[in-house]
Structures are given as structure tokens and as C-alpha cells.
Amino acid sequence: MYYKKEKKQKNKIRDENYTENDLNRLIEMAWQDRTTFDTIYELYGLTENQVKKKMRSLISPKGFKRWRKRVQGRKTKHKSKVTHKVIKFQGPW
């Protein structure tokens, strides 16, 4: 049990360091079909479950339900299931 508590504290510290721009970009990437959860993990250090929790707190309940319905079971959100080659996320910058 001690290990789990220590792990939770690490995640909380990491989550608090995001700016408003980072959170907006995270929401945008989570909504995009071609951006995998693996890419989000590489950029922000958030696992799929952490992205789900973050989205629940960042968007409205109705928006979250729409997002979950859209993302659930979608092959393009998982790198191992993607048929196209994912090299690197290419943002608008």
C-alpha cells in the first residue's frame, strides 16, 4: 500500500505543472482521431486512463460522454492497432 500512495503523489505533482495552453492542446489532441494515446503519453506523460480522468475534469459531462463514445474502440487511438505509420505528432507550430 505504501508504494501505491507514493505513486499517486508523483502523478499529482506531474499533473499540476501543466499550463492552460498545455491543457487546451491536450484536449485538442484527445479529440483528434489520428493522434494516438501513445503520442499523448510521449508528449505529456499521461497514460490512457490518466487522459480519461483529465478529460473528465476539463470538459463538460455531456462533452465527456460524447468524447468517450467517439474514442471507445477506435483503432486510430492506439498505436498497435493503427494501419498507417505514426512517425511523430505534427502540430500546428
Tell me the per-residue pLDDT of 33-44, one tens digit each, with 9 for 90 and over. 888 888 899 999
Q: Dig out the grid coordinates for 69 from the structure.
A: 463514445
pLDDT of residue 86: 52
Tell me which residue range forms the domain holding 25: 18-93
> How far is Cα 20 from Cα 76, in angstroms, rounded to an integer?
26
> How far is Cα 49 from Cα 41, in angstroms, rounded to an integer?
11
pLDDT of residue 9: 45
**Total domains in the fold of the chain:** 1
pLDDT < 50 regions, the chain:
1, 5-13
pLDDT of residue 73: 75
Is 73 part of any domain? yes
What is the DSSP-derived secondary structure letter of residue 84?
Answer: S
pLDDT of residue 3: 54
Is 1 part of any domain? no
What torsion do the CA atoms of 36, 41, 47, 53 make, to the nearest 10 degrees?
Answer: -80
Is 37 part of any domain? yes
Is 10 part of any domain? no
pLDDT of residue 13: 37
pLDDT of residue 18: 85
Query: 48: helix, coil or strand?
Result: helix
Q: Which residue has the cell 463538460?
A: 60
Tally of residues, the chain: 93
Is 12 part of any domain? no
